Amino acid sequence: GGLRKTRHKGLEKLSGQALFTFAAYNLTRLLNLMRPAVA
């Protein structure tokens, strides 16, 4: 996780960073779930 040491200060910027981080994490999980089904 990269949210322990945040680069931005303030709730608005932090929520944007968290949203981006969670979206990337979910995309990675989704790709890993779909990979065995395709092969």
- The model's confidence at residue 26, banded by pLDDT at 50, 70 and 90, is very high
Give me the pLDDT at residue 19, please: 87
- The model's confidence at residue 28, banded by pLDDT at 50, 70 and 90, is very high
Task: Work out the percent of the chain whose per-residue pLDDT is above 70.
Answer: 56
Q: Examine the pLDDT at 9 and tell me if it is beyond 80.
A: no
CA distance 2 to 24: 12
The residues near 17 (Cβ < 8 Å, ≥ 6 apart) are 3, 6, 7, 8
